[in-house]
Amino acid sequence: MKTEKVIDHIVDWLKTYATNDGLKGFVIGISGGIDSAVTSTLCAKTGLDLLCLEMPIHQAENQETRATNHIDWLMKNFPNVNRQGVNLTPVFDSLIEALPSVENEEERFMSLANTRARLRMTTLYYFAALNGYLVAGTGNKVEDFGVGFYTKYGDGGVDLSPIADLLKTEVYEIAKSLGINKEIVIAPPTDGLWGDDRTDEDQIGASYPELEWAMQKNEEGKTIADFSGREKQVFAIFKRLNAANQHKMLPIPICHIPSELK
């Protein structure tokens, strides 16, 4: 990959898109992870306004620290960057209190994890509307179009996706070129939606390099019968998630009414 040229291309694309829409800049949620760090830096390099939001919900301290340090670094290097902290923990807790209780709390863990992401999306759009900004998405190609590892109408609810055509390994390559803080580069990827230290690999059952391999083999028309051992296991994981999450990757189904009924 021609890393520097890719960086320039994304920055130009971002600036052109915002300018053509008559908007002043971008708002992005900073999680302390590699994707939001890279995306926010690319947005900052446009020279347009960038508002970085910190939106903790029972967040692990190391995630908050990495996010804070990254925003500090951005503000030191780019005069167009501002920050805003919004503690969503009490909002999340109040919502849980308002919802009906369940017999087994574990049954709603996934639902509540997705609720965290949707509260953050709502907050991002509040500030976007208030300031005339675009909500910049942080999803990469494997997450968005491979296994659908994101929350529908949560971190998937964005105005534009600057890194959605980049594999995760390519995001890391760009991060190194941009000088992203080492603590972010070496941190295990996590969605930060659970209030603990579980990683993306813990949830998915495969690493991003493995998923990239499976995605490539799937595009080549390979089937599970072509593999054995760990490769077979990884390919099965990819195929299962890719099939289960097509509802995230395809347009919303529309019930088209026949003309003779209208």
Task: Write the pLDDT tens digit of every residue in 239-253.
Answer: 999 999 999 999 899
Overall average pLDDT of the 23-36 stretch: 96
Predicted pLDDT at 104: 86
Say which residue, 60 or 254, is predicted with more confidence: 254
**CA-to-CA distance for 247 and 152, rounded, in angstroms?**
9
Residue range 38-62: mean pLDDT, rounded? 95
- In the chain, what percentage of residues exceed pLDDT 90? 87
Mean per-residue pLDDT, 200-229? 96
User: Angle, nearest 10°, between helix axes 61-77 and 34-44?
Assistant: 20
H-only helix segments in the chain: 3-20, 34-44, 61-77, 89-98, 109-131, 141, 168-178, 182-185, 200-204, 208-219, 229-244, 246-249
- Answer whether residue 22 shows pLDDT above 90: yes
Whether the CB-CB separation of 125 and 135 falls below 8 Å is answered with yes
pLDDT averaged over every residue in the chain: 94
In angstroms, what is the C-alpha Rg of the chain? 19
pLDDT of res. 60: 80
Q: Which pLDDT tens digit goes with each residue over 58-116?
A: 988 888 899 999 999 999 999 999 999 999 999 999 999 999 988 888 888 889 999 99
pLDDT at position 106 is 82
* Percent share of the chain, pLDDT over 70: 100
Residue 230: predicted pLDDT: 97
pLDDT of the residue at 17: 97
Q: So what's the pLDDT on residue 178?
A: 97
Is the confidence at residue 29, as pLDDT, over 90? Answer: yes
